[in-house]
Amino acid sequence: MSHKVTATILLTAASLGEQVQDPALDMIVGIVLPPDSTPASDEYIVNFVVPVSYGWTGISMGGQMSNSLLFTMWPYNGEIMLGSRWTNDYVLPLPYAGPKITLLPASKINNTYINAIFRCQNCTVWEGGSLGSGDLDGTAVLAYVASTDVGVDDPSDIDSSFQEHNNFDFFGLDLSQAHSSSYSKYIGGGSTTSAPSGPSSTRVPPSTTTSAPQATQTAYGQCGGTGYSGPTVCASGFACIAVAPPYYSQCQPSK
């Protein structure tokens, strides 16, 4: 099968831990790790911003399709459908139990973008591989994929089958720059959540389009861009950054 790889990668050591923006595909992948610790933490936060018009999109945390922790994402009725998958071949990856995915409240979906911000626990090691090949201060090769035109077979089902992506590209992230002392703040004060584990099927309600004038946007929430009508002022410590002008601005740490 042939693939169209159009991406030109702009690697930025951005404030959201480490992130990569693909201007051609109009997608952003960012990752934040907890501070280094012994033993090492098994979790991280991923920020995945993609056009809502795409059929489905995905991330490979190991940089290849086989033997990697894969995330799949698509919109359904104004909700974000986000799951973990795994395969050892170039075939439909199946739902993968083990990773515990929690969409954080700052996640948003509107008529233009999905902005998913999710915590993934038990996610640094998976069958056949590990993030950064086990070095959480080294360089990790990740990949993203998109099916820009064709949706999944049943978008209401997190375990839906689908056809092959028509785009993929790789990128490297310097994990040593991705650790943040604000990690527990991002996940909501470090409280433990008790969502059921197993193959994740996580949803957030559609974002509201009206907000009180004095409302401030939360960490990594949208704060501007074409068609956006929500809060444009960020919470304390965050600044509104045009990450994909003119379409999308996001609250990112101001220092």
| Binding region for ligand HEM (CB under 6 A) | 1, 3, 58-60, 64-66, 70-72, 85, 90-93, 143, 145, 162-165, 168
When the beta carbons of 144 and 220 are compared against ligand HEM, the nearer one is 144
- CA angle (236, 104, 140) in 5-degree steps: 95
Residue closer to ligand HEM (CB basis): 164 or 174: 164
Rounded CA separation 222/114 (Å): 10
Least distance in Å: CB of 202 to ligand HEM? 16
| Stated length of the chain | 255
CB nearer to ligand HEM: pick between 3 and 185: 3
CB of 161 to ligand HEM, least distance (A): 7
Quote the CA–CA distance of 62 and 143 in Å, as a whole number. 7
Cβ-Cβ contacts under 8 Å for 214 (sequence gap 6 or more): none
The smaller minimum CB distance to ligand HEM, of residues 73 and 251, is found at 73
Residues 103 and 176: their CA atoms lie apart, in Å, by 24
Q: Would you list the DSSP string of 36-82?
A: P-SSPP--EEEEEEEETTSSEEEEETTSSSTTS-EEEEEEETTEEEE
- Residue with Cβ nearer ligand HEM (60 or 249): 60
Distance in Å, CB of 149 to ligand HEM, minimum: 15
Considering the complex, state which of residue 53 and residue 64 has its C-beta at the smaller distance from ligand HEM. Answer: 64
Q: Smallest distance from the beta carbon of 14 to ligand HEM, in angstroms? A: 22
DSSP class of 179: B
* CB 136 to ligand HEM: min, Å: 21
Contact 99, 81 (CB under 8 A): no
Cα separation values, 240 from 61, 169, 190, 217, Å:
28, 28, 24, 9
Q: Which residue is nearest to ligand HEM (CB)?
A: 58
In the complex, the smallest distance separating the C-beta of residue 227 from ligand HEM, rounded to whole angstroms, is: 28
